[in-house]
Structure 1
Amino acid sequence: MNKFLKSIGVFLVIIFSISSVSAATLTERLKDGHKLRLGFGTAVPWAYAGDNGEALGFVNMIALTVLEEMGITEHETKVFEWSGLIPGINANRSDMVTGGMYILKSRCENMNFSDPIGVFGDAMLVPKGNPKGINNYADVIRTGAKLVTGAGFNTVEAAKKYGVPDSQMMLVEGEVGILAAMKAGRADVAVQTFFGAKEHEAKTGGKFEVTDPKLMPKETLNVVGIGFRKTDVEFRDNFNKALAKVMANPATMLKRAGEYGYDKAQLPPPSMSTEWACSTK
């Protein structure tokens, strides 16, 4: 009987310890010596892993610059499918989402965002010469074209908002899936971020081209933030304080992020705040 009670006691201690670790905030975990885990998908040039698993892409460069301002110089990388980024951070498999997520009302319900790190637009990727004349969602509907985009991308909501029927939409896993669908001829047009589309244009040697983002609906302009768990408010607030310092003197950040195409044109205006995006996007 005593052995049984002892076993139960040990079991409860283990369960309590696991629960305590999972319940700890990011600030507490870092104080205990844990490395911060950056979570992102493969979305060139936004965020992706190098040959040795290192964090690359302009969103990661901005995040790392801010973390260094906070005195945090060590981290680990965790690569997810795009649709797994928010579930991953909420399951405690990462600590920050640096994948380049637009701040949207639906995402704000499941994750906290930092202040914006940039403002961006979407574009269409079409075959060279744009034979169907597709520049926006209205053109997709008009031509009956098959539109491909990434599962979990903001473009899924946008396409539906502007009337693209499910029968004309194809959802795939991330940027890799988008390019594969276009190259195989399973889709006539892709919609993604302007940077993502430009990367695919470059990769295919001119087989595809990118449409002018200004021909897309103006409402598709979005701001990007770094994602945090709802329980990590203290860390998010401290991150925002450091981010404000970096944005006030962005030379170092622009140099690092500029290697991936980010420049001062992407710096977010004060009017496009996280609160604004969470309530209107």
Structure 2
Amino acid sequence: MKFPLKHWMQSAFGAIALMSFATTAPADELTDRINAGEPIRLGFATAIPWAYPSENGEPLGFVNALTLVVLEEMGITNYETSVNEWSGLIPGLQANRYDVITGGMYILKSRCENINFSDPIGLFGDAMLVPAGNPKGINNYQDVINTGATLVTGAGFNTVEAARKEGVPDGQMMLVAGEVEILAAMKAGRADAAVQTFFGAKEHVDKSDGKFEVTDPADMPEWTQNWVGIGMRHSDTEFLAAFNEAMAKVIGGEKWMEAVAPYGYTEFQLPGDDASTEYACANR
């Protein structure tokens, strides 16, 4: 298994250890496929600047960028992309249509029941996208409730679960396919506010010619601060361990920060030394 144990191969001892490991622990399906020379398949939705395809289908966005840094550390450079609707990402992974989810998913208890996550790649918050001047004074979910506003967000987004937890009635919520449809609903005046990641809202502000603004994530409930991980099937445990091992060597380093700099990810988004997927799965 060349990629999870490449540093072991620097010595004869490492080679012996690898042979012993191979005879006592069967590899998961993804590890076997990659070792056979097949490409790893990256699954994501179009969510700028998190993850999106170029015109040629190349994986762009900071989650894809840092994933490629980790894969390179593992010795993996052969990959394919699969662009999907957000709500179909987890079902698509489970159906083996791709191997990892690089769309920028928050690590949530409800998601951990269906897939595994890598160690956190960053800590992020949500915000409201509102008309310029914020005429209804909407900064959080309670403001949505109090004003009777219509709130738009993406089907399958963590914000659906968060809004309901904060008491927003379903009758005040509009669910659409993803980021593109959120902006379209706001431009058409079909919604009074949108809730999405701060990065996603900021991207929409940049595209709105001054029509919209983004609220301060600090005005949202503290518990909506979330860690993001790379999604994997429950069965691919060996690959997950190898991915985490490689990521620990590069996270926050020069290659990592250079790869994500064009997308607005900074050192302030680093997850912190005490961040853990286990904690997020149990508490988010």
Give the TM-score normalised by structure 2.
0.89
Give 2:155's match in structure 1, choosing from 137, 151, 155: 151
Give 1:274's match in structure 2, choosing from 246, 268, 277: 277
CA radius of gyration, larger in: 1
SS at match of 2:119: coil
Number of equivalent positions: 258
Contact 2:28 2:238 in 1 (8 A): no
The corresponding residue for 1:41 is: 45
Give 2:217's match in structure 1, choosing from 213, 220, 224: 213
Q: Percent identity?
A: 68
How far, CA to CA, are the matches of 2:70 and 2:229 in structure 1?
A: 12
1:30 corresponds to 2:34:
yes
Question: Over the residues paired in the alignment, what is the CA RMSD in angstroms?
Answer: 1.0
Q: Which amino acid aligns with 2:270?
A: L
SS at match of 2:101: strand
1:78 corresponds to 2:82:
yes
The corresponding residue for 1:94 is: 98
Q: 1:270 Cα shift?
A: 2.7
1:243 corresponds to 2:231:
no
Q: Deviation per CA, 1:187-230: give whole Å up to 9, x if none.
A: 00000000000000001111000001111111110000000011
Q: 1:24 Cα shift?
A: 6.4
How far, CA to CA, are the matches of 2:275 and 2:130 in structure 1?
A: 30
Give 1:191's match in structure 2, choosing from 192, 195, 218: 195
The corresponding residue for 1:260 is: 263
Runs of at least 4 residues of structure 1 off by over 6 A?
none
1:226 corresponds to 2:230:
yes
Closer, same or farther: CA 24–214 of 1 in aligned 2, 3 Å:
closer
Q: Which amino acid aligns with 2:253?
A: P
The corresponding residue for 2:134 is: 130
How far, CA to CA, are the matches of 1:87 and 1:194 in structure 2?
A: 25
1:161 corresponds to 2:168:
no
SS at match of 2:189: coil
Q: Which amino acid aligns with 2:276?
A: S
How far, CA to CA, are the matches of 1:280 and 1:112 in structure 2?
A: 15
Structure 1 gaps of 5+ residues are: 1-22
Q: 1:254 Cα shift?
A: 0.7
Q: Which amino acid aligns with 2:263?
A: Y
Structure 2 gaps of 5+ residues are: 1-26
How far, CA to CA, are the matches of 1:105 and 1:250 in structure 2?
A: 29
Q: Deviation per CA, 1:244-273: give whole Å up to 9, x if none.
A: 0012x5111111101100010000013331
Listed as ranges, the matches of 1:97-108 within 5 Å are 97-108=101-112
How far, CA to CA, are the matches of 1:228 and 1:122 in structure 2?
A: 23
Contact 2:115 2:234 in 1 (8 A): yes
Q: Deviation per CA, 1:102-133: give whole Å up to 9, x if none.
A: 00000000000000000000000000000000
How far, CA to CA, are the matches of 2:215 and 2:106 in structure 1?
A: 20
How far, CA to CA, are the matches of 1:143 and 1:196 in structure 2?
A: 24
